[in-house]
């Protein structure tokens, strides 16, 4: 009887936790499907007449480029989705490309300046990205990279690389050195041992780190809103801001846009879930 009551209590707690986690999602979905404006939606806004009009309004938004000859009408949502995906993917690739060999070197070798370098990298994680918005703006302005994907990728990579180095360093330290030494005894060079032995083992950790780098760039708003001033160059988080004005807030369109923005991320998490579980577990036990 006591074991049955314990199981019932556990299930009640789990159901309550799931409901607590799902309520905001259901609230956003219901608001996006609502047909009438609901400025005060403290409770769950169950739509009496569900409609996809708000999704259509977000997706079909366009802008006429008046400075071009002939004038061209640009599909804003498609352009902004492309901007977000390109910037996020480029940030993840640049971050992983720089962080992987750096983290391996920090995990395997002893050299002058290693400790001070690690402290410097750690210090960069102590400051929020918004604190560097003005210096980054001035640097990109001097380099003529304002309002460009390249400038945004460089800014995001500056914060992604230190984070990725710390993540991957722990993963490399968890891989036994004996595996590399055995490969080198068999005739492999250090580089070949790194490529053929270490990287396959560290693949889950690399995948998770790349996923977090992608997420941080895909969801970032402050720097994108500061460095971009052309609507066709906006990323999706900046696009959502235009539904919240000083005197008016289009909450239904904001909710619809938030759902559309989250679709690529949900798809990515679904495809990478196997690596996500393995990567989160890597580095927990040092071999």
pLDDT at 71 over 80: no
Which pLDDT belongs to residue 248?
79
Report which of residues 93 and 270 the model is more confident about.
Answer: 93
The predicted-structure confidence for 98-149, as pLDDT tens digits, reads as follows 999 999 999 999 888 888 988 888 888 887 777 888 999 999 999 999 999 9
Q: pLDDT, tens digit, for every residue of 39-53?
A: 455 556 677 788 899
Dist CA 105 CA 236 (whole Å): 36
Q: Is the predicted pLDDT of residue 177 greater than 80, yes or no?
A: yes
CATH architecture of the domain covering 76-281: Orthogonal Bundle (1.10)
Whether omega before 35 lies within 30 degrees of 0, making that bond cis, reads no
Phi, psi of 161 (to 5 degrees): -60, -50
The distance in angstroms from the start CA to the end CA of the chain is 43
C-alpha distances out from residue 219 to 13, 165, 193, 205, 254, Å: 31, 21, 36, 21, 15
Rounded to an integer, what is the distance from CA 49 to the centroid of its chain? 34
C-alpha–C-alpha distance, residues 68 and 249, integer Å: 32
* 287 pLDDT above the threshold of 70: no
Model confidence pLDDT, tens digit, residues 195-252: 999 999 898 889 889 999 999 999 999 999 999 988 889 999 999 988 887 677 888 8
Q: Give CA–CA dist 65/72, Å, rounded.
A: 5
Residues 6 or more apart whose CB falls under 8 angstroms from that of 124 comprise 159, 162
- Rounded CA-CA distance 198/177 in Å is 9
What confidence tier does 277 reach under pLDDT thresholds 50, 70, 90?
low
CA gap 176, 168 in Å, rounded: 14
Sign of torsion over alpha carbons 163, 143, 149, 228: positive
Res. 284 pLDDT band, cuts 50 70 90: very low
| pLDDT value for 283 | 45
What is residue 247's predicted lDDT score, i.e. its pLDDT?
76
- CB atoms under 10 Å from CB of 240, counted, come to 21
The structural domains of the chain, with segments of one domain joined by +, span: 4-51, 76-281
């Amino acid at each position: 009887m006591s074991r049955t009551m314990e199981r019932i209590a556990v299930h009640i707690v789990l159901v309550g936790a799931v409901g607590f986690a799902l309520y905001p999602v259901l609230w956003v979905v219901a608001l996006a499907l609502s047909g009438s404006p609901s400025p005060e939606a403290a409770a769950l806004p169950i739509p009496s007449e569900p409609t996809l009009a708000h999704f259509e309004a977000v997706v079909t938004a366009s802008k006429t480029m008046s400075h071009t000859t002939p004038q061209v009408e640009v599909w804003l949502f498609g352009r902004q989705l492309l901007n977000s995906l390109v910037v996020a993917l480029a940030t993840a690739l640049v971050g992983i490309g720089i962080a992987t060999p750096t983290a391996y070197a920090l995990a395997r070798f002893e050299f002058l300046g290693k400790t001070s370098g690690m402290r410097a990298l750690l210090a960069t994680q102590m400051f929020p990205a918004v604190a560097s918005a003005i210096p980054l703006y001035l640097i990109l302005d001097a380099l003529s990279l304002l309002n460009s994907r390249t400038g945004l990728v460089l800014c995001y990579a500056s914060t992604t690389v230190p984070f990725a180095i710390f993540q991957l360093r722990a993963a490399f330290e968890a891989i036994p050195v004996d595996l590399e030494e055995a490969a080198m005894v068999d005739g492999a060079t250090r580089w070949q041992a790194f490529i053929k032995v270490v990287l396959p083992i560290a693949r889950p950790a690399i995948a998770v780190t790349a996923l977090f780098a992608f997420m941080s760039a895909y969801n970032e708003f402050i720097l994108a809103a500061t460095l971009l001033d052309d609507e066709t160059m906006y990323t999706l988080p900046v696009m959502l801001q235009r539904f919240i004005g000083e005197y008016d807030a289009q909450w239904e369109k904001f909710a619809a846009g938030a759902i559309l923005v989250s679709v690529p991320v949900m798809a990515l998490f679904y495809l990478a879930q196997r690596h996500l579980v393995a990567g989160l577990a890597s580095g927990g036990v040092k071999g």
